[in-house]
Amino acid sequence: MGMEEIQQSLVFTYGTLKKGFSNHTLIQDMISSNDAKFVGIYRTVDKFPLVCGPYRVPFLLNMPGSGDRVFGELYAVSPRGLERMDELEGTSKGHYRREQVKVREAGGGGDETGITAEVYFAGESYSEGLWRRCGERGVSSYTEKEAKGYVRRKDRPQNLTFLEQIRLFVNSDSD
């Protein structure tokens, strides 16, 4: 059964799932199993803060109006692919939450109102604190520069949960 016959979701990726970053292997895997297809480079219609948390992990904060219009990659994803992404993003554990966002083609063109896509925002419990901890400064794109020093999940302290790691980061002094 071809992908076009099943209900697809558009998913906007802004961090480690993008080409060239650490979790892109999941997307590659999904593309080869026909569960994802690259649509293009898009950006958010509204401004949102994109910040790096502990271990240089990127977080998009659901605080429209702050930060910048954020650039990322848009994928068409099957229901099975979406489940795999939810699992990676820890949606059931409150790590990230999948919500909708308006995006438009990065190169201008397209409708100014944009199209609706799914996006993984930072969990609500720590977003405000993370924004303060980052000096209320975000970036418009997660690039090699931001990713420098990124620590993969398996190499992080195993005795702490991801939310505990975030809490420690939020409560630490900024460098």
Q: Give SS3 for 8.
A: coil
Residues paired with residue 122 on neighbouring β-strands, in sequence order: 96
**In angstroms, what CA-CA distances link 4 with 1, 74, 75, 83?**
8, 16, 13, 18
H/E/C letters for each residue in 124-136?
Answer: HHHHHHHHHHCCC
- Count of helices and strands (H, E) across the chain: 5, 7
Q: Which of 89, 118, 146, 164 is catalytic?
A: 89
- Closest by CA to 76, choosing from 9, 26, 6, 5, is 9
Is 99 a residue of the active site? no
**40: left (phi > 0), else alpha (psi -120 to 50), else beta?**
left
- Closest by CA to 15, choosing from 141, 162, 169, 153, is 141
Q: Which residues are catalytic?
A: 89
